[in-house]
């Protein structure tokens, strides 16, 4: 069963580094892991995508261990504006019919002053 | 602004009715994805089209259908509506055939009364 899990909520203070982990046990060799940010009443916004090891862009890093059964989104020095819900997404391969795009339940990050 | 346009933004209708949600993808994107977001189910993948053809199906009910037209815009048709169909419906688009890196619209909030 294709499934992704992540913590429901996290609190942090401004200026701290935040790490959010997602579990995706049934990931296949070629499946990508992607993270999105969502603010209230808006559509999810792409943050970062990775396949293995480590990916970094101007806003976040994504760490993926060798077994790829989990991934960690790292947000350096968060600010109040980073308060949002963060989702992991895996496009699970299927033999006969395209990919099944499965979002995690989302992690509600609250950044406190 | 993601470049993905969804109309209408809000829709209120009665049980048993039929509605059509419309999505215009980003310029140049050939793939369109439909997602449903509700409080109890989270973000659920419904269906994907690529260049006019159905590419993948997720948890889409038989009462729901979609299509992608030659100009690449897409429509999601919801029929025999039930109270439980009340949700945010998002459309996303990407350049590639199958991609977890997609751009989301602002969504259509459907309320069934």
The pLDDT confidence band at residue A2, using thresholds 50, 70 and 90, is: confident
- A88 with A7: CB under 8 angstroms? no
The pLDDT confidence band at residue B93, using thresholds 50, 70 and 90, is: very high
Cα–Cα distance for residue pair B36/B45, rounded to 1 Å:
7
Q: Nearest Cα to B33, choosing from B111, B83, B107, B112?
A: B107
- B64 with B46: CB under 8 angstroms? yes
- Helix or strand or coil: residue A80? helix
Average pLDDT, stretch A49-77?
93
What pLDDT, on a 0 to 100 scale, did the predictor assign at position B8? 97
What pLDDT, on a 0 to 100 scale, did the predictor assign at position B1? 85
- B47 with B58: CB under 8 angstroms? yes
Average pLDDT, stretch B88-92?
98
Taking an 8 Å cut-off on Cβ atoms, the answer to whether B107 and A43 are in contact is yes
Q: Average model confidence (pLDDT) for chain A?
A: 93
- Helix or strand or coil: residue A82? helix
Cα–Cα distance for residue pair A51/A54, rounded to 1 Å:
8
Residue B108 has pLDDT above 80, yes or no: yes
Give the closest of A87, A101, A105 to B33, CB-based.
Answer: A101
Cα–Cα distance for residue pair B72/B80, rounded to 1 Å:
26
Q: Which residues of B touch A41 (CB under 8 A)?
A: 106-107
CA angle A112, B1, B3 (to 5 degrees): 145
Residue B86 has pLDDT above 90, yes or no: yes
Give the closest of B55, B101, B105 to A46, CB-based.
Answer: B101
């Amino acid at each position: 069963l294709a499934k992704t899990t992540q913590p429901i909520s996290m609190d942090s203070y401004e200026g701290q580094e935040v790490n959010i982990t997602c579990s995706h046990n049934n990931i296949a060799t070629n499946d990508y892991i992607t993270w999105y940010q969502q603010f209230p009443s808006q559509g999810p916004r792409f943050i970062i995508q990775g396949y293995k090891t480590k990916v970094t862009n101007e806003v976040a890093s994504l760490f993926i261990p060798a077994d790829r059964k989990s991934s960690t989104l790292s947000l350096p020095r968060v600010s109040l504006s980073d308060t949002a819900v963060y989702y992991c997404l895996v496009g699970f391969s299927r033999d006969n019919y395209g990919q099944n795009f499965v979002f995690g339940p989302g992690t509600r990050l609250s950044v406190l002053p | 602004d993601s470049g993905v346009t969804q109309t209408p933004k809000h829709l209120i209708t009665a049980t048993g009715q039929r509605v059509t949600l419309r999505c215009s993808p980003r310029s140049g994107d050939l793939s369109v994805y439909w997602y449903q977001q509700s409080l109890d189910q989270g973000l659920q993948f419904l269906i994907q089209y690529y260049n006019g053809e159905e590419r993948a199906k997720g948890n889409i009910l038989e009462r729901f259908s979609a299509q992608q037209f030659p100009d690449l815009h897409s429509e999601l048709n919801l029929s025999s509506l039930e109270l439980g169909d009340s949700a945010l419906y998002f459309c996303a688009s990407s350049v590639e055939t199958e991609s977890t890196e997609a751009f989301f619209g602002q969504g259509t909030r459907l309320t069934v009364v």
